[in-house]
A and B are shown apart, each in its own frame.
Chain A
Amino acid sequence: MSIEQVLARHPGRSRDHLIPLLQELQQELGFLSRPAIRQVAEHLGLPASKVWGVATFYNQFRFQPRGRFPVVVCRGTACHVKGSAAVLAALQHELKIEPGATTRDGLFSLEVVACIGACGLAPVIAVGDDYHAGVTPQQVGRILADCRRRAAEDAPTKAAVEEALA
C-alpha cells in the first residue's frame, strides 16, 4: 500500500489523526521515511517540523528500515534483575551493532523496548514473531544462527538464479 492510499483512509484533517496516521504508515512501510513525514505534514496542513517532533517523541516510531529479523530486547525491571543487560551485550557483540541499528546485510536489526509485557518469563527477547523466554547470553549465538540458517534456506540457489537468468 502506498503512502497516498494510507492517507486516503483518513480524510479528516484534524490533528488527532496524526498519531494513527503515523502508526498505519509505519505498519505499511516498516518505518517512517522522510517522504512519508513530508506527505503527512502536507495532508494535515502542519509544518513538517511538528510532525517530526511528535514522531520522535514516541518510542514506537522508527526512521530506518528494520532488518529481516528484528531482534527486540526487553529491558523491563524483571528482565533487568534476571540479566537482560548481559543478553543485550551478547547481542551487540554478536551482531556488532548498537541498539537502533541494522546490520549491513540487512538481516538483523536490534531494538530495546521498555517492557515486552511478559515479566513472568524474564529475560525475554523477540525475534520477529518468535518470543524467547529465559534467555541467557550463551543462547544468543544459537538463536541468531537459527535465523541465519533460515535466511540461507530461503535464499535462491545458484541453479535457480541461473535458470531465472537463462
Chain B
Amino acid sequence: MLRRTPRRKPRSRRRWHERAITQARDCGLLGADILGSGRRLEVKIKQGAGAFVCGEETALIHSIEGQRGMPRPRPPYPVTRGLFGRPTVINNVETMANLPGLFRMGPEAFAALGTAGSKGTKVFALSGQISRTGLVEVAMGEPLRRIVEEIGGGVPEGHVFKAVQIGGPSGGCLPGPQLDIPVDYESLKTVGAMVGSGGLVVMDERACMVDVARYFMDFIQREGCGKCIPCREGTRQLLAILDSLGRGRRREEPAGALERFQGLISLERLARVIQDSSLCGLGQSARNPVLSTLRWFRAEYEAHAYDRRCPAKVCPELLLYEIEEDLCNGCTVCARKCPAEAIVGSRKSPHHIIAEKCRGCGSCLTACPSGAIKVS
C-alpha cells in the first residue's frame, strides 16, 4: 500500500523553531531583561550539516565553529575550554525537553519515576518488524519485554521474535531471553547495549545478525571522521571480516577460507583494541553491534563462516536457489528475469538453475508464478 505522509521540510521546520524564539522574545522570556529580572538569555539556532560524529561534544563544537566535525582529545573538557575557546555547557535536546516536566512536577515527583540510577522517563522510537510502530515514552526501568510485546504488540503474526536492536548504531542487539531486562542506563550496559539514541528496532526470524552487524559497521566506517587510526583502520578491518563471512565461494580468493576462519577468531580482539584506543565515543562504541551479535548469536556467525549458509536466508551469496521440476511449468519468466542468465530450459519443460552462475539475487523467486523456486 502506498501512503503519502505530509512532512515538513527541514527549511520550514527551521522557520517553525525561529517563530517559537520570536514568540518567547515578544513575551519577554528571552532577551536582555527577562521579565524585568535583569537576567539576559539569547537563543540562537545553528543547523547541523549531517555528520553522525557531531554527536560527540568536541566534534559538535568544531562544527559550530565552521570546521570539519572532528573530535579532539579531552582534557581540556568543554567546561573549561569549549566553543570559541570559552567554557561551554553541552546538553542534548532531549535533556532540555525534560525541564518543563521537571519544573511542573517538582523534583521529587520527577525522581519518583524511574530507577535508583536512572530517573524520569525516556522516549523510544519503536520500529522494525513489529505490529505497532512509533514513539513511546516509558518510565526508566520498565522491562524491555513490556515495550516490545505490550506496547508494540510483538512481532507480526506468523513470525518469531529474534532480537531487538537498542541504542542506535553504537548500541547492541539483545535476544529473546534478555527481554526481561529493565531499560535503564546501568542494566543495558551489563548486556553490551546502551540507551543511546533511544532507537528500538525489533527483528524477527527474517533478519540475519551477521548482516545487521555488517550494516552497522558499514555505517560507522562511513561516518567515522578519519582522524584517529584505531577507528579509521580498525572499523575497516572489522567490516572486511564481516564482508568475508557473507562472501560466496565464487568471489572468494584462494586463501579466502583461511582468512574467514582467522577473521572470526580475531574479531573479538580487534573490537576490543578499537574500543581501548579510539579517541572518541564513536570508535569506543563501534564494537557494540559486533560484540553483542557475536555474544548472543554466535551460532549464526559460525553457520556463515564454517557451514557457508545463512540461516535467515538474507546473505545473497550464501543462498542456493533450485527449481522444483514437478512445480515448474516452463513459463520462462524466471529465465527472462535472471540478470546473470543462470537459468536454462526450453518452453513448457522444467527449467534449471546453473549454481555457478547464480548471484543469489532472488529475482526468480519473486518472478515465479507457480512457486517452483526453492531457497536453501
Contact = CB atoms under 8 A, between A and B. Distances in A.
Interface of A: 14-20, 22-23, 27, 53-54, 57-61, 75, 77-78, 80-82, 89, 113-114, 118-122, 129-135, 137-139, 142-143
Nearest to B132: A120
B215 A80 contact: yes
24 contacts: A18-B66, A19-B63, A54-B68, A57-B68, A58-B51, A75-B219, A77-B165, A77-B216, A81-B203, A82-B129, A113-B50, A114-B50, A114-B219, A119-B127, A119-B133, A121-B5, A132-B2, A133-B2, A133-B4, A134-B1, A134-B3, A135-B2, A142-B2, A143-B2
A130 B50 contact: no
Contacts of A53: 68
Interface of B: 1-7, 9, 11, 46-47, 49-52, 63-69, 84, 125-129, 133-135, 165, 168-169, 199, 201, 203, 207, 212, 215-216, 219, 223, 225, 361, 366
Nearest to B5: A131
Nearest to B11: A27
Contact of B128 (A78, A89, A133, A139): A78
Contacts of A120: 125-127, 133-135
A59 B127 contact: no
Given A15-B65, A16-B66, A77-B165, A139 B2 contact: yes
Contact of A78 (B7, B49, B201, B219): B201
B50 A118 contact: no
Contacts of B46: 19-20
Nearest to A89: B361
A133 B134 CA distance: 13
B211 to A, nearest CB: 9
Contacts of A61: 49
A59 B47 contact: no
A108 B11 CA distance: 22
Given A81-B201, A121-B133, A131-B4, A23 B47 contact: yes
B49 A19 contact: yes
Given A82-B129, A119-B125, A121-B133, A77 B5 contact: no
A66 B361 CA distance: 29
A6 B49 CA distance: 18
Nearest to A59: B50
- From A59, A78, A129, A143, residue with most partner B Cβ within 10 Å: A78
A81 to B, nearest CB: 5
B50 A58 contact: yes
Contacts of A27: 11
Contact of A81 (B49, B51, B65, B207): B207
Contacts of B128: 77-78, 81-82, 122
Contacts of A114: 50, 52, 219, 223
Contacts of A78: 127-128, 133, 199, 201
A119 B166 CA distance: 13
A140 to B, nearest CB: 11
A129 B11 CA distance: 12
